[in-house]
Every structure is written in C-alpha cells, then in structure tokens.
C-alpha cells in the first residue's frame, strides 16, 4: 500500500450496533480521499429519495493522504451527508473542519468513518488504535459541546480528540453543527442535526500510530521551501495595519513579555490556528477574552461576531431590498456570545442573517412574532433567543427550521417585504448569502459572475473553496483596480491561457469557475486549507511588495509535490484535475438524483438582479440564463437540465451511473411534458 493512507475505513451500523472495516485503497486510486472519496461512497450507498433524517442517510467523515502529516495545513477533515439545511429539500453536500480530529483518526489506523442507521438511545463512538465500540451516551445527552469534550477527555485522556454535537444537534436544528475543540466545526450544512437524528452524540478517537511518508526528505524540503508564517496575499495587501484584527495578547497573562516579544509575538502577530500542521500567518484567527476573562480563539465568521465594523457590513440597500446593519454588543460580550454559539452547536452564520432580519422587523414596526417579543439589539434577548433556537422553544421553534423555512411558515402573517428579505438573505438553497457580491462581502465584476456560476452548480454555497484561490482576489481589485487588472492579465494568461479571464466583463468566466471548483475539490480531498491553497497568488509580506510586483503568480504545483512526497505516487496536473472532475461530476449526479437541475438553478436569478454592492453591476434573468448556458456548455452538461452526459461520464470512468441518470432524464422529461 502506498504511504499516506492507513488502508482502512470504519463502517458503523448504529441500528445493529455493528462495526466493520473496508479497504480504503478501493477508492484511493480514482478519488484520492476526503471529499472526492466520500462522494463515491455516498453515490453507492445513500439510497435515492431518502430524507436527511432517514436512518439510511450516511454520515461520512473522511481524511486524505496528507492528513496527519507535516504537509502545511493538512490537518483537515471533511464531513458529508444529506443536509437538512438545504432548501427546498435535502440533498447531499459537504462541510470541512480543521483541528486535530482527522490526524488522530489516522494515527488510530483509519482514513474515514461511514455511519448509518439509528441507535435506540444516545451513543458515542469510541475509537482507539484500530479498535472501535459504541458506548452509551445517555449521561452526555443535553450537555453542550464544550462540556461534552471536557467530560470525554477527562474520562479518556487529554490527547483524545472529540467530535460532538450540542443541544442544537440533539434537537434537530437545521443549522446545527458538529463541533470540535473550541472553534472548529462542520458548521454550515446542518450535519449536527443528522447526528442528532441518529442518536449519535460524539466520536472520540485516540491513536498512537503514525502516517508513513514515502519520501521524508522531499516532504521536509517542500515544507522548508514553502516557508513558515507566510501571510496570504490578501492579508498583506488589504488588511495590513488593521489593528482590530491583530490583537497582540498572550493567552496566559493578557500581554506579551516585552523582553520576549522583540522577534516573536509583536513582529509575528500572535494569532491562533484552526488546524494541525498550519504554518501560515492567517488573517482569520484572533484571541479575545470572554466576560469572565478567559482567552479563547475565534476564526473567520467567529471573528466577525467580535468585529464591530464587520457586523455593520450586513447593511445593504438596493433593488427594493433593505438589510439593516447588524448590532455589535461589545467585545467581551460578543466573545461570550460567540462561545455560547459553539457550545450550543449552532452555525455561527445564523447571526449574519437572522439579526439583521429581526432588526428590519423592528424598523417596520413589528415588535413581536406569534406573541413572542423581538428585541434583536438587546444582548440578553439575543442570548435567550440562541438558547431558544438550540432547544426549539418559543420563537426558536420557528427559526430552528432556518430563516428561509421560517419565511414559508410566516408568509401572510408578516409584511411581504420581510418575507422577501428572509428569502434573499438565504437565497442560495437555504445557505446564507455569501460571496455573491451583494449582502455580505464585496465582489465586483467579474468576481460575482464567477461566484454566480459556482452557486448554480455546486451542492452548497461556494464560499469555502474560493477564499484564496479566486474570490478573495477581488480585494486586490477593490484596492487598486488598474494595478490589479494589469497583474491579473499576466496571471490569467499563464493559468487559463486567456489574458481576459479576470477582466471585469460578463463573458467567458466559466473556465475560472470550473478551475476554482476543481481546485476546491482537491484541497478538500488531499486535504489542504482553502485559505492557503491553491497559491494562485504568491504570498507577499507587505502591501509594498504587491505594488512593486508585476508577476504575482504563486506556486500552483505545491499540492502535487506534497502528494508525491507523502504517497510516492507521481501525478501530473492533468491526472489530478481528472480526479477532481470525476468527483465533481459525481457530486453533480447526486444533485440530479435529488431533482436539482436548471429549472431550480434559474430560481437564483432574482438575487443577481440586485446591484452589486461594490460596483452596482447586475444581470437580468436573460443574462443569468446565459451564464447557465455558458457554464453548462463549458462543463459538457446538457442545457436542458444541466446534467452530465453519457460520453463525458464514460470518459471519466463513471459509466455505471449512466443508466440511473438516463432514467431520471426520462422521468424529468415526462414530468415537464405532462406535469401532474
């Protein structure tokens, strides 16, 4: 067996209480690991037509060959399942989480876990060095995610790594998370509720083995060569000097020893990391203190809660939609609220859509909903509301279904503007608007067009795989448009063979969207972190370095070399891209199985008629339809449904899925010709 993989996947049948193993290498050649491998398992094993809460739904937790090694940022884990959050009906999607669980799983001898069935009563799965068993978790049910982890670590060992749900998952909140450590979570896809539906409270893992490396010298050479504590380009350029995101505090005493700080804390900018083997200086992490003076980390959206100006960035006005600014409750209050969110196991993103929506209610004179008062700018009301969400009590019972489903429930009771607003805030099949250039962050043309193509074609919002590879480059545009355009023309010629690929136009953006999606698939499968890979733009240490650069292209083949060093398997870029395309196509087939296709994807069009917050650009329905045509064509999918076609499936080695897709095509055609 090549190095990197452990060779075993753990199969857990919660209904029968049985545990078995299968061979990872049956998948590794065609799918590598992680998200790509999980998609294959999902296609083969999740029956068509089942609901997210059906015992036959699978929870797949997968690592990749780089997980647990020294490869930078490789300590990640992917989780996939049918998502209860997806609107209007569940389909298969994925989340990834950082932390230390995936590496420990490999040290225990397993590449992945596939869970199905439903336990009669709460259980947790305990994994230790090649062995696994189900343990009664009745005493843990009801504990929050932090209490659960501390309890299980106390019972086993501090080195034990834990995935767990909080009360929100137990109570089937549609945006419930699976939590790990302080801040890591499979957060966006509501998989915590799937765990809850299966009576699965937690998974613990402890392993004392290691991950073999085919060429240790090569791996060390690559890691040393990549450098440590490199800033991502956007950090250097856009956030340089942003003191609010650069707190310099020591975790134990609230301040850095001046004697020790000269060449360490102060100059390096002390920030936490979110994943084992991360060597980067990442903008998304920060330490802050809770109201009871404990220092805790926050990453990405967690840091947004704490950042006053970021919360105000929810403000948007255009196209008849008014989104008020969110309300920041003060730094330590926000830190504590944010910690509470993690404890309860709620997706941190709920705040970004629900708080502005409730504030708009108040602005329109709505003071209560079904007898429940709403005070979204009151800290104590908001804290209580979070508990109500997690426990499905009071107002929480309605909104635990997520904002977009709450709009269906409340339609006719509230002003149409509010219902419309709620649907726009979660326009992307139930996922909060993000990376779409309107409500949250700024993506000027052409970046929101690339993003729109990704929204229409992927199983969830395209946020995660595009942080560094594509969309964050919009920040360069916003900062110095002419310089960025000049640099991007050179970069585009080199990467996509087309100097116009990132020109601010609507045309010919599919190659960048597809490239980004394939890169995303690979970093979720090797795995690597999307804030650090792919290095489309090379790390730069300062704004000045960026301004003086003409050629900004990064090292796009670092992933290939890390993969070869760890596994001993040499793949070309073309071979790796083919694996990504195969896996992405299979995910598309899973969407087709759930009935998703062009008709449903055209329903996203109205959101893109709203003016882009950065430059006011927009697109009408006909133009949006043209984006679908361009994207589907570039993918080789049919234009009627937007599904992969037989020749393409054969070429990718997916001929076995052709009969099912053919049958679904026939059913779809019959339906459109004579709808019931």
Partner 1 sequence: MTRNKRIHVDARLCRDCQVCVLACSLHHEGECNLCLARLVVTKDMARYEFDILICQHCDSPDCILACPTDAMLLDDRGVVIIVDEECIRCGACLISCPYDAIFYNEVQDRYLKCDLCAGREEGPLCVALCPVGVLTLVDVEAVRVGV
Of 234 and 282, which has the nearer Cβ to partner 1? 282
Helix axes 331-344, 145-155, angle to 10 degrees: 70
Told to check if 65 binds partner 1 by CB under 8 A, we report no
CB of 297: closest distance to partner 1 in angstroms?
Answer: 7
Should residue 276 be labelled a site residue for partner 1 when binding is judged by CB under 8 A? yes
Binding to partner 1 by residue 69, rule CB under 8 A? yes
DSSP assignment of 336-402, as one string? HHHHHHHHHTB-TTHHHHHHHHHHHHHHTT--EETTEE--TT-HHHHHHHHHHHHHT-THHHHHTT-
Asked if 158 is part of the footprint of partner 1 (rule: CB under 8 A), the reply reads: yes
Answer yes or no whether residue 271 interacts with partner 1 by CB under 8 A: yes
- By the rule CB under 8 A, 150 interacts with partner 1: yes
Tell me the Cα Rg of the chain. 24
Of 273 and 421, nearer to partner 1 (C-beta) is 273
574 contributes a contact to partner 1 by CB under 8 A:
no
What's the CA gap between 572 and 576, in Å, rounded?
A: 6
Judged by beta carbon, residue 73 or residue 473, the one nearer partner 1 is 73
Q: Is residue 294 a contact residue for partner 1 (CB under 8 A)? A: yes
Taking the complex as a whole, the smallest distance from the CB of residue 570 to partner 1 amounts, in Å, to 19
DSSP 13-55: ETTTTEEEEEETHHHHHHH-SHHHHHHHHHHHHS-TT--TTST
Q: Which of 88, 225, 251, 616 binds partner 1 (CB under 8 A)?
A: 251
Longest dimension (CA), the chain: 78
Residue 48's φ and ψ, nearest 5 degrees, are: -65, 140
Q: Restricting to residues 179-238, which ones interact with partner 1 according to CB under 8 A?
A: 181-182, 208-213, 216, 219-220, 223-224, 228-229
Q: How far is the CB of 417 from partner 1 (least distance, A)?
A: 44
The answer to whether 544 touches 555, Cβ cutoff 8 Å, is: no
Q: How deeply is 240 buried, as exposed, middle or buried, from its count of CB atoms within 10 A (0-12, 13-18, 19+)?
A: middle
Q: Name the residue nearer to partner 1 (CB basis): 253 or 673.
A: 253
Interface with partner 1, residue 297, by CB under 8 A: yes
278 touches partner 1 (CB under 8 A): yes
Single out the segment in contact with partner 1 by CB under 8 A; choices: 43-51, 147-155, 184-192, 445-453. Answer: 147-155
When asked if residue 260 is in the footprint of partner 1 (CB under 8 A), the reply is yes
Strands 112-116 and 8-13 come out as parallel
605 binds partner 1 (CB under 8 A): no
Site map 107..136 versus partner 1, x via CB under 8 A: x-----------------------------
- Restricting to residues 645-664, name those near partner 1 by CB under 8 A: none
Query: Is 475 among the residues that bind partner 1 (CB under 8 A)?
Result: no
To the nearest whole angstrom, how small is the minimum distance from the Cβ of residue 272 to partner 1? Answer: 6
Residue 313 CB contacts under 8 Å (≥ 6 apart), including other chains? 325, 440, 441
Q: Which residue has the tokens 């899925």?
A: 657
Q: In this structure, are residues 374 and 358 in contact, taking their beta carbons and an 8 Å threshold?
A: yes
Return the number of the residue (73 or 463) whose C-beta is nearest partner 1. Answer: 73
β pairing state of 123-128 and 91-97 = unpaired
Please check whether residue 56 is in contact with residue 72, taking contact to mean a CB–CB distance below 8 angstroms. no
663 with 655: CB under 8 angstroms? Answer: no
Contact residues toward partner 1 (CB under 8 A) are 68-70, 75, 100, 103, 107, 149-150, 153, 158, 181-182, 208-213, 216, 219-220, 223-224, 228-229, 250-253, 256-257, 260, 263-265, 268, 270-273, 275-281, 294-297
């Amino acid at each position: 067996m090549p190095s990197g993989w452990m060779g075993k996947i753990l199969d857990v049948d919660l209904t029968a209480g049985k545990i078995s193993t299968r061979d990872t290498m049956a998948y590794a050649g065609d799918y590598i690991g992680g998200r790509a491998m999980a998609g294959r398992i999902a296609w083969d094993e999740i029956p068509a037509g089942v609901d997210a809460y059906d015992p036959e739904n699978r929870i797949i937790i997968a690592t990749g060959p780089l997980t647990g090694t020294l490869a930078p940022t490789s300590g990640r884990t992917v989780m996939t399942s049918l998502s209860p959050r997806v609107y209007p009906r569940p389909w298969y999607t994925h989340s990834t989480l950082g932390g230390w669980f995936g590496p420990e799983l490999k040290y225990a001898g397993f590449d992945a876990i596939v869970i199905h069935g439903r336990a009669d009563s709460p259980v947790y799965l305990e994994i230790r060095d090649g062995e696994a068993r189900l343990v009664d978790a009745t005493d843990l049910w009801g504990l929050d995610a932090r209490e659960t982890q501390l309890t299980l670590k106390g019972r086993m060992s501090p080195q034990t790594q834990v995935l767990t749900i909080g009360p929100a998952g137990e109570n089937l909140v549609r945006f419930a998370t699976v939590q790990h450590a302080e801040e890591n979570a499979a957060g966006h896809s509501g998989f915590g509720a799937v765990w809850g539906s299966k009576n699965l409270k937690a998974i613990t893992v402890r392993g004392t083995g290691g991950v073999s490396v085919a060429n240790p010298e090569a791996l060390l050479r690559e890691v040393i060569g990549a450098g440590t504590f490199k800033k991502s380009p956007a950090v250097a350029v856009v956030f340089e000097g942003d003191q609010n995101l650069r707190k310099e505090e020591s975790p134990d005493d609230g301040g850095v020893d001046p004697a020790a700080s000269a060449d360490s804390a102060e100059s390096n900018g002390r920030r936490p990391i979110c994943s084992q083997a991360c060597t980067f200086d990442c903008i998304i992490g920060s330490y802050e203190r809770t109201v009871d003076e404990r220092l805790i980390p926050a990453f990405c959206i967690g840091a947004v809660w704490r950042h006053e100006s970021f919360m105000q960035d929810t403000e948007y006005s255009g196209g008849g939609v008014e989104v008020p600014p969110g309300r920041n409750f003060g730094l330590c209050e926000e830190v504590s609220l944010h910690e509470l969110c993690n404890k309860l196991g709620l997706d941190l993103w709920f705040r970004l859509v629900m708080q502005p929506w409730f504030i708009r209610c108040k602005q329109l004179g709505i003071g209560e909903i079904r007898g429940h008062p709403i005070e979204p700018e009151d800290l104590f009301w908001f804290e209580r509301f979070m508990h109500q969400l997690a426990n499905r009590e009071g107002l929480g019972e309605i909104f635990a279904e997520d904002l977009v489903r709450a709009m269906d429930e409340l339609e006719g009771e509230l002003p149409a503007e509010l219902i419309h607003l709620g649907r726009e805030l979660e326009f992307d099949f139930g996922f909060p608007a993000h990376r779409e250039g309107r409500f949250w962050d700024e993506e000027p043309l052409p970046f929101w067009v690339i993003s729109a193509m990704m929204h229409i074609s992927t199983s969830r919002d395209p946020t995660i795989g595009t942080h560094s590879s594509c969309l964050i480059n919009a920040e360069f545009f916003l900062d110095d448009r002419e310089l960025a355009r000049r640099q991007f023309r050179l970069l585009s010629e080199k990467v996509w063979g087309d100097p116009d690929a990132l020109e601010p136009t609507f045309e010919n953006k599919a190659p960048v969207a597809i490239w980004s999606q394939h890169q995303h698939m690979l970093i979720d499968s090797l795995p690597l972190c999307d804030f650090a890979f792919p290095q489309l733009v090379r790390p730069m240490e300062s704004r000045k370095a960026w301004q003086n650069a003409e050629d900004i292209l990064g090292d796009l083949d670092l992933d290939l070399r890390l993969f070869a060093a760890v596994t001993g398997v040499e793949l070309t870029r073309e071979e790796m891209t083919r694996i990504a395309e195969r896996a992405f196509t299979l995910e598309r087939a899973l969407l087709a199985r759930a009935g998703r296709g062009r008709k449903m994807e055209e329903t996203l069009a109205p959101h893109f008629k709203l003016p882009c917050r950065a430059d006011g650009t927009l697109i009408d329905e006909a133009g949006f339809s043209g984006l679908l045509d361009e994207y589907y064509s570039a993918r080789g999918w049919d234009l009627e449904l937007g599904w992969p076609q037989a020749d393409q499936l054969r070429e990718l080695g997916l001929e076995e899925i052709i009969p099912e897709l053919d049958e679904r095509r026939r059913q779809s055609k019959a339906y459109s010709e004579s709808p019931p």
